[in-house]
Amino acid sequence: MIQPSNSLIVAVVSRTMIPYLQVFALYVIFHGHYGPGGGFQGGAMVAASLILSRMALGGERAEVQFRSAWGSPLGAIGALLFAAVGLVAVFFGGEYLNYAYLPLPLDDPALLRSYGILFIEIGVAIALTGTLVAIFDDLVEGHEDYD
Amino acid sequence: MIEQHLPLLVPITYLFSALVIPLVGLAGRRYAYPVALIASLLATFAAARGLSVALREGAMRYAFGGWAPPIGIEFVLDPLSSCMSVLLTGLTSLVLIHARRPVESEVSGKEIPFYSVTMLLMTGLTGIVLTGDLFNLFVFLEISSLAGYAIIAVGEKPAPVAAFRYLILGTIGATMYLIGLAFLYMLTGSLNMADLASIIPQLPLTPPLVVSFAMMVVGVGLKMALFPMHGWLPDAYTYAPSTSSALLAPLGTKVAAYVLLRVMFFVFQPSFGRDMLPVGDVLTYLAAGGILFGSILAIAQKELKRMLAFSSVSQIAYIALGIGFGSQLALTGAVLHIVNHAFMKAALFLVVGNMRLVVGHSRIDQFDDSLRRLMPWSMAAFTIAALSMVGIPPLAGFFSKWYLVLASIERSAWGIVAIILLTSLLSAVYFFRVLERVYLRPLQAIGGSGFESLARKEVTMSMLVPTLTLSGALFILGVFNTTIVTKVIHAMLPPAL
Amino acid sequence: MFIQLEVTLFILLIAASIVALQVRDLLAAVASLSVFSFVAASLVIAMGAVDVGFTEAVVGAGISAVLFMVALYHTPRRSED
Amino acid sequence: MLPLLAVMASLAAVPLILLSSRFPNLRETWTISAAVLKFAFVCALVPGALANKSAVISLIDLSPGVSLAFKADPLGVFFATIASGLWIFTSFYSIGYVRGLQEEKQTRYFASFAVCLSATIGIAFSANLLTFLLFYEILTVATYPLVIHKETPIAISAGRKYLAYTLTAGVVLIAATAWTYHVAGRLDFRPGGLLAGSNLGSGEARLLFLLFLAGVGVKAGIMPLHSWLPTAMAAPTPVSALLHAVAVVKSGVFGVIRVVGFVFGPELMHRHGFDSVVMVLAAATIILASLLALTQDNLKRRLAYSTVGHLSYIVLGAALLSPSGFTGGIYHIATHATMKITLFFCAGAIYVQHHKENIGDLNGIAREMPWTMGAFTVGALGLAGIPPINGFFSKWYLGIGALEANEFVALLVFLLSGLLNAAYFFPIVYRAYFRTSEHNNNGHGEASPLMVVPLVCTAILSVVFGLAPNLFFGFFDLAMSITQSVLSGGRI
Amino acid sequence: MIEFIQGYYAYWAIVILMLIGLYGMLLKRNLVKKLIGMTVLQSSVILLFVASGTKWNGTVPILDVGRSVDDPALYINPLPHTLMLTAIVVGVATLGVAFALLISVYRRYQTLDEKTLLKQMQ
């Protein structure tokens, strides 16, 4: 487990930054289907904020927000969400990932596609956050049981 | 309703199981294996259905998300891809039936990620085979490669180093392919294989087109360990866990060979690599070198898995040889050899897995006739597969060589004929060296226990049945090769040869 | 876009990559690689691919750099070549 | 259907043999019944072959246009009858031999034996080159366990040598077959040559013929490709007897006849002068092998070199391409088989009972083993070409054939080698009957009846076929009709 | 000649970057340096794709109510961009796997020098 940083500046700056980072990341995720950004970038930013909190605040306090053990299951769940949304379209008569067939109470196929993508983006974001944090934790742990 | 989604079913089954395994793994480590096995069996079933449909009704297309092909991504289930997917899924099922005990003993504690990544590997491999889009193919290629690095790395002590070197070379290969793709996209504005096949013949032979073709061939050649770009293969296959090598050796490089076939004959027109550029000839020379090199080095190896790895280098070169010639006979031989060699190598690597479980090593110089006493059935399977590799009829290995020899004679390439036949003899040398030790070298008695006191310690049925099935299948593949060739392989060859 | 800007960026890019590969202190190399990623991201944006630039910035200068740092955390910082 | 049944009979016995490995009597029952059954199937084909009606059965395709096909043509029936008939004797003899020596791994022994016989019959009945090649390779592999049966270092190195020679020959034959397919577009054997009428250049034809000759010549023991044969005498004696006097080497000469008569055909042979090439090789082999046989002290090795020489009789006869020569060559397959198997049986019986392998130790052995040595004498006389025994008969025809073809050198070779045969066999007979052993023979006497009866039977057969060549199976008529079809097929 | 270089300067720079990347991957002995080379190579491919799709008077492919949506000449082709997003994902995944391997190599051999590693593997 990572020890908290000794530097006051690092601690204060990162503690201030992390919430803003995460809010902005959420904006990037939800804005993604009609502007630059999206699940991947947003997820990466969420992961970056979590990793920053691990590095600056130390493992113990970072675990409060995001447990190490959640990493890989979340990665799987996010990807599963992505794949499942695609499959739902199949069950409602469309091709795989054809969001126009999603069972949402909307009439316009274009809108349907738009909101369908939102689900996908959320899935991607969750998957990316989980996976990246898991990779980070894994790499860090890899050190510690060796030293 | 299912019929319509057939092209999708195989990769998606693997993908879902890859994602579900970590989740059910939370409930207990023991649930990972059944999920993987069931998924693989389902995928096999879907692939078999797909093959029958594709042979009956011709190519079947599936556009993702409802976007029409030149823009959207499509999956194509034509005879070639469906046959490959049957091969991939079928062999995976057999290897997975075999896998439970070896995985428990060799990668204990990491079963959940191992099975999950294996499923991801299969997602990638089946995706490569089924996709009709060159960029999508790149993505699947990388998915399968990444999964491959991971399941190699959990092996013996040097495994991570081998995997790392594989990663570096594999990434270079993939990047080469991507660069080639960039040029092709610049010239044509399309990435869809069928679309490209109609555009490329109208293009003038400009340097970018040549560069793109060459880059793609080189990149794929790296992935398929085509001599002299095979450097990563021996270490990777040697140090990987048995199950990983049993999956990667028969399937990984074969899929790369499939990509080569696709790119050279279905995306570019067959005459492109033959008449306009000497790529076919170069491929033939490289293959001839690889056939010899692999066999000669295989003779020098002291470790059975390493020997098999070098033999793979040589066998892959056979496939490249067929692709390089590019005639109907040669391609028949190449495709048949993809199938045959997959079965042979899978059988051989499974036997190595059995050996490692029972006697704990696979060093050739320590083999003695206690092996035939301890594990007679595994050794019988090994013998059959080895004879098939040597090319004894009616085993499968003979017939793919037969077509390749016919193709070389057709081209009056006598040197190649000589090399193919010489390599048969070389492979006889390295396989009989092993067989002789296993069957004839007296037990190096420890404590004077002697041969007769050895109790049979054959592996369990779950490991034995796949091993024997694979080696038994070599008879069937051999005897019924004409049926396979005329019914399946002829249907899958490019129409404009 | 201004051609001068692009040329400058390309020169910077090449310089950063060479520095990243040639410096023996790996931490400095990773820092240089971050610079490389940022410059590449700006170039990509300059060529009109906003999405790609954004992603490249997040991934190249963010995630990759973090991964490199973590890897260097306890592996030796000096490289022999 | 019959040809297939004949091939399958012994193959079907293999799993039964393997399953009943714990019960030797049951296991041997399977062997014997398979042998008898197989012989019955083959015999049932004889009338058809005599009437020149070939039973044909075509199974699945091995390669597009080339099927796994069996055809019981006269030549095939001829060879199959001999091989399967002698298998019965060998089976009984083997049982006596391996039990007499308390050999280990008897199950493997009998199983491999059965596979070998299947392959041999398969070779005999194969209707095309690819089927032939298939069984030829199976025979190679199935013989290997028999050669290394003793698992001594000598046996193992003999096995290596055997494999090195025969596998090389196999791949050469693959090349030749593939090339033939490329040239002719088909592979089925036909009297007069399947290549007849193809536009093969002279240089290409030469290379192709050389490939074929090397491919089949190894098993046929044509010098300089013979050297595996004496080495392979490390195998148990019944193996040497059946495989190295009947099945394996005869498959080789059978292959030579197929190549000469059914692939190339007389016309091509003449046109490109292949016949003289083969004749020179065969003649040299006959003389050299006989001379080498003189220098051997080990009885089995002497027999082996004698085999090498006699195989070349057949090859030479086929290469003469004259009516009597071809007939004599084919008939020599049968006569040499009965005589040589007798001799090998005798050598084995002596080894089992007295553990003597060298000729120098055989002084006075006839007093101990009168039946065995009697049979040995019959075989030796026959091989030297003394009249009432069948060896004379085939040699007579070979000689006439040489005259018909105006090859006086060949006639000379036959005569000279007859003398040499006498020179290397009669000292054995002389020692056995007229010298006394310096050690007092300790009264081991004859070997078990399981061994003596078969060897006496084969000796009697040798005499019977010498007196009445057409008895039972019409061997001579078969040989004649084969010759006729080949030679006339060439002219059409 | 000058014009040729000027017209294609982006491609020349990209080719140089590719060569630098390849040099790093193949000739550097330190495994971290190899990965740095890999990053450079991947970035250069991304630049190649993006550069191939760009045009001088086009604008970023984002829906803008003020401009006509129907005229594709106004927009830069977004397809290469989406492809490159995927390629970046693939690249970062490769990097992740590579670091996992790197750590495990170091844990087993205490060195990251390729030459030493190969020697120790024997």
Contact between chains at C66 and A136 (C-beta distance less than 8 A): yes
Pairing assessment for the beta strands B74-77 and B60-63 based on DSSP bridges: antiparallel
- Rounded to 10 degrees, the C-alpha dihedral D272/D273/D275/D279 comes to -150
B27 touches chain A (CB under 8 A): no
Neighboring chain B residues of D182 at a CB cutoff of 8 Å: 406, 409-410
- CA distances B158 to A46, B209, E119, Å, are 36, 41, 11
Half-sphere exposure of D402 (CA within 13 A, CB side): 20
Q: Which residues have a Cβ under 8 Å from the Cβ of D420 and sit 6 or more positions away?
A: D287, D290, D291, D293, D294, D309
pLDDT (mean) for D467-488: 76
Q: How far apart are CA D140 and CA B248, in angstroms?
A: 33
> Mean pLDDT lowest for which of A9-18, B242-251, D42-51?
D42-51
Under 8 Å CB pairs connecting chains B and D tally to: 79
Tokens of D332: 């020599």
Task: Please check whether residue A3 lies inside any domain of the structure.
Answer: no
pLDDT (mean) for B344-359: 91
Contact between chains at B398 and D137 (C-beta distance less than 8 A): yes
At residue B88 the predicted structure's pLDDT band, cuts being 50, 70 and 90, is very high
In this prediction, residue B174 carries a pLDDT of 94
Question: How many independent structural domains does chain C possess?
Answer: 1
Neighboring chain B residues of E41 at a CB cutoff of 8 Å: 171-172, 175
Amino acid, res. E68: S
Task: Please check whether residue C80 lies inside any domain of the structure.
Answer: no
Q: How far is E90 from chain B (nearest CA, A)?
A: 7
Chain A residues 24-83 with CB within 8 Å of chain E: 34-36, 40
In tens, the pLDDT along E11-53 reads 888 999 999 999 999 999 999 999 999 999 999 999 998 888 7
Under 8 Å between Cβ of B311 and B389: yes
In tens, the pLDDT along C42-65 reads 988 888 888 888 888 888 888 888
Under 8 Å between Cβ of D414 and D399: yes
Partner residue facing A135 (CB), from E63, E96, E104: E96
In tens, the pLDDT along B410-433 reads 888 889 999 999 998 999 999 998
Most confident region among B83-87, B276-280, B373-377 by mean pLDDT = B83-87
Neighboring chain A residues of C74 at a CB cutoff of 8 Å: 143, 146-147
pLDDT of D490 higher than 80: no
pLDDT (mean) for B245-267: 91
The percent of residues above 70 in pLDDT, for chain B, comes to: 97
- CA distances E76 to A21, B72, B208, E58, Å, are 30, 18, 22, 5
In tens, the pLDDT along D298-338 reads 888 888 888 888 888 888 888 888 888 888 888 888 888 88
Residue in C45, C52, C54 to test binding to A, most A beta-carbons within 10 Å: C54
Partner residue facing B393 (CB), from D61, D137, D172: D137
For E2-121, CATH gives 1.10.287.3510
Radius of gyration of chain C from Cα atoms?
14
In tens, the pLDDT along E46-78 reads 999 888 877 666 666 666 666 666 666 666 777
| Chains contacting E (3+ CB pairs below 8 angstroms) | A, B, C
Task: Please check whether residue A1 lies inside any domain of the structure.
Answer: no
Tokens of E87: 């390629």
Task: Please check whether residue A127 lies inside any domain of the structure.
Answer: yes
Q: What angle do CA D477, D481, D483 make, to 5 degrees?
A: 115
Partner residue facing B19 (CB), from A80, A94, A95: A80
pLDDT of A147 higher than 50: no
D280 touches chain B (CB under 8 A): no
Instruction: Residue B475: name the closest of B404, B409, B383, B412 by CA.
Output: B383
In this prediction, residue E68 carries a pLDDT of 61
Partner residue facing B402 (CB), from D63, D141, D170: D63
Q: How far is A52 from chain C (nearest CA, A)?
A: 9
- Please, what is the end-to-end C-alpha distance for chain D in angstroms? 30
Q: Do chains E and D touch (3 or more CB pairs under 8 A)?
A: no
Contact between chains at B179 and E34 (C-beta distance less than 8 A): no
In degrees and rounded to multiples of 5, residue D471 shows phi and psi of -60, 145
Angle of helix B376-390 versus helix B461-479 axis, rounded to 10: 30
In this prediction, residue E55 carries a pLDDT of 64
In this prediction, residue D492 carries a pLDDT of 37
Contact between chains at E92 and C29 (C-beta distance less than 8 A): no
pLDDT of B288 higher than 90: yes
Name the residue of chain D whose CA is nearest to B387's CA: D141
Q: What angle do CA B89, B93, B96 make, to 5 degrees?
A: 135
Partner residue facing C54 (CB), from A37, A51, A139: A37
In degrees and rounded to multiples of 5, residue E77 shows phi and psi of -60, 120
In tens, the pLDDT along D193-252 reads 788 777 777 888 888 888 998 888 888 888 888 888 888 887 888 887 777 777 888 888
In tens, the pLDDT along B211-234 reads 899 999 999 999 999 888 888 999
Q: Which residues have a Cβ under 8 Å from the Cβ of B219 and sit 6 or more positions away?
A: B172, B173, B174, B175, B176, B177, B178, B179, B180
DSSP state of D446: S
Task: Please check whether residue A110 lies inside any domain of the structure.
Answer: yes
- CA distances D272 to B52, D10, D299, D315, D445, Å, are 52, 41, 41, 18, 57
Q: What angle do CA A129, A132, A138 make, to 5 degrees?
A: 135
Neighboring chain A residues of B22 at a CB cutoff of 8 Å: 72-73, 75-76
Secondary structure element (H or E) that encloses residue B63, with its range: strand B60-63
- CA distances B140 to B129, C47, E94, Å, are 9, 28, 13
Name the residue of chain B whose CA is nearest to A75's CA: B19
pLDDT of B393 higher than 70: yes
Tokens of B230: 């095979």
Name the residue of chain A whose CA is nearest to B65's CA: A98
D460 touches chain B (CB under 8 A): no
DSSP state of B56: H
In this prediction, residue B445 carries a pLDDT of 55
Amino acid, res. D101: L
> Mean pLDDT lowest for which of A94-103, B84-93, B179-188, D317-326?
A94-103
E65 touches chain A (CB under 8 A): no
Tokens of B141: 């290629």
Question: How many independent structural domains does chain A possess?
Answer: 1
Contact between chains at C80 and E61 (C-beta distance less than 8 A): no
Contact between chains at B16 and A80 (C-beta distance less than 8 A): yes
Contact between chains at C62 and A136 (C-beta distance less than 8 A): no
At residue B118 the predicted structure's pLDDT band, cuts being 50, 70 and 90, is very high
Chain D residues 175-194 with CB within 8 Å of chain B: 175, 178-179, 181-182
Q: Do chains C and B touch (3 or more CB pairs under 8 A)?
A: no
E102 touches chain C (CB under 8 A): yes
Among chain E, residues having any CB pair with chain B shorter than 8 Å are 18, 22, 25-26, 31, 34, 38, 41-42, 45, 48-49, 52, 79-80, 83, 86-87, 90, 93-94, 97-98, 100-102, 104-105, 108-109, 114, 117-118, 121
Partner residue facing B163 (CB), from E25, E101, E118: E101
Instruction: Residue D426: name the closest of D465, D467, D386, D462 by CA.
Output: D386
Chain B residues 29-88 with CB within 8 Å of chain A: 62-66
The residues facing B303 across adjacent strands are B363
| Per-chain mean pLDDT for chain A | 81
Q: What is the DSSP string of B456-481?
A: P-PPPHHHHHHHHHHHHHHHHHHHTH
Partner residue facing C70 (CB), from A37, A40, A139: A139
Q: How far apart are CA D483 and CA D481, in angstroms?
A: 5
Chain A residues 103-132 with CB within 8 Å of chain C: 132
Q: What angle do CA D156, D157, D163 make, to 5 degrees?
A: 90
pLDDT of B446 higher than 60: no
In tens, the pLDDT along D438-462 reads 665 556 677 777 888 888 888 888 8
B215 touches chain E (CB under 8 A): no
Q: How far apart are CA B355 and CA B245, in angstroms?
A: 14
Q: How far is D115 from chain B (nearest CA, A)?
A: 14
In this prediction, residue E72 carries a pLDDT of 63
Q: How far apart are CA B321 and CA D285, in angstroms?
A: 41
In tens, the pLDDT along C27-38 reads 999 999 999 999
Contact between chains at B19 and A94 (C-beta distance less than 8 A): no
pLDDT of D389 higher than 60: yes
- Domain containing C67: what range? 3-74
Instruction: Residue D215: name the closest of D167, D263, D250, D179 by CA.
Output: D167
pLDDT of B264 higher than 70: yes
Neighboring chain B residues of A99 at a CB cutoff of 8 Å: 65
Under 8 Å between Cβ of B98 and B467: yes
Neighboring chain B residues of A75 at a CB cutoff of 8 Å: 22
3-state helix, strand, coil in chain A (%, to 5): 80, 0, 20
Name the residue of chain E whose CA is nearest to A144's CA: E107
Amino acid, res. D433: Y
DSSP state of D58: E
Q: How far is A44 from chain E (nearest CA, A)?
A: 10
Tokens of D302: 């002497």
Neighboring chain A residues of B63 at a CB cutoff of 8 Å: 95
Name the residue of chain E whose CA is nearest to A145's CA: E107
Residue in A24, A34, A41 to test binding to C, most C beta-carbons within 10 Å: A41
3-state helix, strand, coil in chain B (%, to 5): 80, 5, 20
Task: Please check whether residue A43 lies inside any domain of the structure.
Answer: yes
Residue with tokens 């073809």: D405
Residue with tokens 């993508």: A117
Neighboring chain C residues of E104 at a CB cutoff of 8 Å: none
Q: What is the DSSP string of B309-363?
A: HHHHHHHHHHHHHHHHH-SHHHHHHHHHHHHHHHHHHHHHHHHHHHHHHHTS--B
Name the residue of chain B whose CA is nearest to D170's CA: B392
